[in-house]
């Protein structure tokens, strides 16, 4: 067991939970934040169910992205911070600022506490939403040099929150960060083994397919990365030479068509995937629905767009090698069935 301590924000979250497991496996001492310490027992139970080792090296502190209280205590004595916590409300929300403000201001709270506490490096969980949305079709692979168009088509409040929080983080470190180092990781759609009974991120696609709640497939392609590989990238980015001051896209390739995801579930899960659809939805139906539905509006902006995403930088600098997308899809489905998170 190393004496190095890592703060992971948002310990009840999907990606954060997998980061905690990875860190403990590698012998780090881990501190994590929850909005209330009343959640500690439940979070420990979820992590234990997921195979946590060295649970005595995990401690909790109460801190909320919307308030200053608790963050100095959380960062105190930590060598590294993985700032994973962020509000997640995909699609249409009543007020964009309900998502954007806590994401941006919460990131700045964490960075100030890290700087003041003498933390060496912060790894910030951004997202492909900050890179690959609102653009015309590029005709090339997206790289870390790209930024999403803030007011472009298909950029929802969550996407804006990721763009603005990451930009604010880079500005802070450049202007006020002192010796603090920053690295950002930008995963595409995150799938893989469910934590506890919460279905998060792109795993909702798998759940809705298995539940029969998606009637058919639009001409839409999903870039996927396994949550276990996202966790490993965070830990690699924490200490890798050359990672400070860098962004890293995290993706398996190639992107998968929605109908490929459905076919994969049917092939691997048998009768448990009987509700997974087989038909496609014509583009004109999606575009017509976009007039009335925010969800269809987001999909319509992406119809037929196969996004190529380069993870060469993560491979060369971090030594990161992701699983195939298919493994993440099947692992997500199997874990949901095991936990009875889909209807029979």
Model confidence over 23-79: pLDDT tens digits? 999 999 999 999 999 999 999 999 999 999 999 999 999 999 999 999 999 999 999
Per-residue model confidence as pLDDT tens digits over 201-238: 899 999 999 999 998 999 999 999 999 999 999 999 99
Does the residue 344 lie in any domain?
Answer: no
Assign residue 152 the CATH number of its domain. 3.40.50.720
Q: Count how many domains the chain has.
A: 1
**The Cα angle at residue 336 between residues 333 and 338, in degrees rounded to 5:** 110
Identify whether 343 is part of a domain.
no
Positions marked catalytic: 162
298: in domain: yes
State whether residue 17 is helix, strand or coil: helix
Cis peptide before 97 (omega within 30 of 0): no
Say if 74 falls within a structural domain: yes
Residue range(s) defining the domain that contains residue 231: 5-338
Strands in 230-341 per DSSP E: 247-250, 256-257
Q: Which residue has the higher pLDDT, 305 or 324?
A: 324
Dist CA 189 CA 225 (whole Å): 6
In a domain, 40, yes or no: yes
| Domain-embedded: residue 29 | yes
Residue-wise pLDDT for 266-285, tens only, equals: 999 999 999 999 999 888 88
pTM over 0.85: yes
Residue 184 located in a structural domain: yes
The confidence band for 92, taking pLDDT boundaries of 50, 70 and 90, is: low
Q: Does residue 25 fall inside a structural domain? A: yes
Q: Measuring CA to CA, which residue among 284, 125, 317, 150 is closest to residue 218?
A: 284
Strand 256-257, strand 221-222: pairing: antiparallel
What is the number of other CB atoms lying within 10 angstroms of the CB of residue 31? 23
């Amino acid at each position: 067991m190393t004496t190095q301590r890592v703060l992971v924000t948002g310990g009840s979250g999907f990606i954060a939970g997998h980061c905690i497991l990875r860190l403990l496996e590698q012998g780090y001492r881990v501190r994590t934040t929850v909005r209330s310490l009343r959640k500690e027992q439940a979070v420990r139970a979820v992590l234990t169910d997921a195979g946590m080792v060295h649970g005595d090296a995990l401690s909790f502190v109460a801190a909320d992205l919307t308030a200053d209280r608790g963050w100095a205590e959380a960062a105190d004595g930590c060598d590294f911070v993985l700032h994973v916590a962020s509000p997640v409300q995909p699609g249409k929300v009543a007020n964009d600022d309900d998502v954007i403000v806590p994401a941006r201001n919460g990131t700045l709270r964490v960075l100030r506490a890290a700087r003041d506490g003498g933390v060496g490096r912060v790894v910030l969980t951004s997202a492909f939403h900050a890179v690959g949305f609102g653009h015309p079709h590029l005709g090339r692979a997206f790289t870390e040099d790209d930024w999403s168009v803030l007011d472009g088509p298909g950029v929802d409040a969550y996407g804006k929150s990721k763009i603005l929080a990451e930009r604010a983080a880079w500005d802070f470190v450049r202007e006020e960060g002192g010796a603090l180092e920053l690295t950002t990781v930008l995963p595409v759609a995150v799938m893989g083994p469910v934590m506890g009974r919460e279905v998060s991120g792109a795993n909702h696609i798998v759940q809705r397919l298995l539940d029969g709640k998606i009637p058919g497939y639009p001409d839409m392609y999903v870039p996927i990365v396994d949550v276990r590989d996202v966790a490993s990238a965070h830990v690699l980015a924490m200490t890798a030479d050359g990672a400070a001051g860098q962004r890293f896209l995290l993706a398996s390739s190639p992107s998968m068509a929605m109908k490929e995801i459905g076919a994969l579930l049917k092939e691997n899960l048998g009768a448990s995937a009987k509700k997974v659809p087989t038909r496609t939805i014509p583009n004109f139906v999606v575009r017509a629905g976009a007039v009335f539905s925010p969800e269809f509006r987001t999909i319509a902006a992406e119809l037929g767009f196969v996004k190529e995403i380069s993870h060469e930088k993560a491979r060369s600098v971090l030594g990161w090698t992701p699983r195939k997308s298919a493994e993440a899809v099947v692992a997500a489905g199997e874990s949901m069935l095991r936990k009875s998170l889909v209807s029979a």
